[in-house]
Chains A and B, each alone.
Chain A
Amino acid sequence: MSITVKIPTQLRAATGGESEVEVSGATVGEVLDAVFEAYGDLRERITQDGDLRRFVNVYVSGEDIRFQQGLETAIEDGADVTILPAVAGG
């Protein structure tokens, strides 16, 4: 399965400048783990004790995973996962 993960500007120092990463996985959690395997620095930046940090938003094809099953949210082949900072707006 191929999933595209979009990396925000603020995290690209940890991906060697890459803005998109292709990985595989059946859930958001598996996909993120695959990304962390490729780019180890990312894990600490956006997770804490196995959970996403409180100012990290993750979307599957545009839908916030907190309206779905969080890290357990299933992902279909070809879907995209977007990581964005949750500190904008208002």
Chain B
Amino acid sequence: MSIESLKCKECGTAYELGALYVCERCFGPLEVAYDFSDLDPVETRRRIQAGSQGIWRYADFLPFEGRPNDPLEPGLTPLVKADRLAERLGLDAELWIKNDAANPTHSFKDRVVAVAVAKAQELGFDTVACASTGNLANAVAAHAAAAGLDSYVFVPANLEEQKLLATGVYGTNLVGVRGNYDDVNRLCTQLAETHPWAFVNVNLRPYYAEGSKTLAYETVEQLGWELPDRVVVPIASGSLFTKLGRGFQEWLDVGLVSGSQPIFNGSQAEGCSPVATAFSEGWDVCKPQKPDTIAKSLAIGDPADGPYAIEHARATSGAVESVTDAEIRIGIKLLAETTGIFTETAGGVTVGVLRKLAERGEIASGERVVVYITGEGLKTLDATRDTFQMHEIDPDLESFEAEFRQEVAA
């Protein structure tokens, strides 16, 4: 395998492998280009299986010549069979939950940040930074701490308290910006011009985004080297969605798996649904929105990879759709009650869309479906407030029996 260059996704212009992310000719996004032609599938599979218990087992498909030193390696999160959830939804399908909350900072962002921080070190940066809706902030602060780098983390100032606390603890420079995520992102795009820092999702974005491919590889490996028939995936910027597709495609091309791309169902919150709106309107570009949803981790009103997410949904006969805040809360509870997995609001969005697909009868009998849960419920506790009642009793038997008399008798 060799990493060839950075290549513009729009016009194909090639650039050297530096801290670049924009094509100077057409302003399109840059992406890492590889040559996998000398990868033998049998030997590659053997190397993966003999590799580390995390994302670096897939180093052959990541933008490094060797395996970087990573003290906080994410990945190999559980793929859980969700029979009870399938039953509750009336599905006669093989339903799986990829629980990516089981990462070092409890979201899939550890994957992309591990790759970006390793690249930042390789390129000689001593400070990393990011524009974040919360999960990325946690991950950048933690991985910078583990690597001994300075960090600056920019978030909307009105973020969930849990996400602020779980970022500040790592000793980062936490900057709350009075504005929404798109304001934060614009500011960071400008700061990336004037500060010699590695902004993981700005000037290092081509490398950072590659980390999401590992979710596709793991899915295939955990399904016994087979592909799912359908995936249900949250969409914020659209990067995870498109890179999952690229991950599956690379393994199809190399011959590590056979079959075809799964159907891709993208999930957004109605209060921030630029990609779902563009998909249903038949547009090729997204019209930006001002977010207003409890799913703050998905609240990107101007999604950078929106056009590519729409293309991939169409190419796989999939769709992108949205759910309301009420449906998000139902989704969180449904997943928790049937699988024991407590997800944040983004997972509520994804399960919400799964529920809609099930209700409409779009999931065929025997279909193998993987639902991507990208973050942890403890980070968005407010979303579960007032969704259940606690029984409060005195510390004696009578009090308990009185409280539960009806249920015990029944």
Contact = CB atoms under 8 A, between A and B. Distances in A.
Interface of A: 8-11, 13, 45-46, 53-57, 59, 62, 64, 66-67, 82, 84-90
Given A89-B201, A89-B237, A67 B27 contact: no
A89 B305 CA distance: 9
A85 B288 contact: no
A54 B284 CA distance: 9
Interface stretch (B184-192, B328-336, B393-401): B184-192
Interface stretch (B17-25, B89-97, B356-364): B17-25
B131 A89 contact: yes
B300 A89 contact: yes
B16 interface: no
A12 B128 CA distance: 25
A88 B20 CA distance: 11
Interface of B: 10, 21-29, 131, 181-183, 185-186, 188-190, 192-193, 199, 201-202, 205, 236-239, 284-285, 287-288, 290, 300, 302-305, 307
A67 B182 CA distance: 12
Nearest to A8: B193
Nearest to A9: B193
Given A57-B302, A84-B190, A89 B26 contact: no
Contacts of B304: 55, 86-90
A56 to B, nearest CB: 5
Given A45-B25, A59-B186, A85-B21, A90 B287 contact: no
Given A85-B22, A88-B202, A55 B10 contact: yes
Contact of B21 (A45, A54, A66, A88): A88
Given A8-B189, A54-B307, 17 more contacts: A10-B23, A13-B24, A45-B25, A46-B27, A54-B284, A55-B26, A64-B288, A87-B22, A88-B202, A88-B205, A89-B182, A89-B185, A89-B300, A89-B302, A89-B304, A90-B237, A90-B239
A10 B284 CA distance: 25
Contacts of A86: 27, 302, 304
B201 A10 contact: no
B120 to A, nearest CB: 16
Contacts of A8: 22, 189, 193
Nearest to A52: B27
A90 B300 contact: yes
A10 B287 contact: no
Contacts of B24: 10-11, 13, 45
Contact of A55 (B29, B183, B186, B188): B29
Nearest to B238: A90
B170 to A, nearest CB: 21
A54 B303 CA distance: 12
A45 B39 CA distance: 37
Shortest Cβ-Cβ A-B pairs, 5 listed: A90-B237, A87-B29, A89-B185, A85-B22, A88-B202
B208 to A, nearest CB: 9
B31 to A, nearest CB: 10
A86 B190 CA distance: 12
Contacts of A55: 10, 22, 26-29, 304
B346 to A, nearest CB: 12
Contacts of B287: 66
A85 B27 CA distance: 6
Contacts of A85: 21-22, 27, 189
A18 to B, nearest CB: 14
Contacts of B26: 45, 53, 55
A11 B290 CA distance: 28
24 contacts: A10-B22, A10-B23, A11-B24, A45-B26, A46-B27, A54-B284, A54-B307, A55-B27, A57-B302, A62-B183, A85-B189, A87-B21, A87-B205, A88-B189, A88-B199, A88-B201, A89-B131, A89-B181, A89-B185, A89-B300, A90-B237, A90-B238, A90-B239, A90-B303
A38 to B, nearest CB: 18
A84 B23 CA distance: 12
A11 B24 CA distance: 6
A73 B237 CA distance: 26
Nearest to A11: B24
Nearest to B183: A62
B151 to A, nearest CB: 17
A62 B192 CA distance: 17
B136 to A, nearest CB: 8
B199 to A, nearest CB: 8
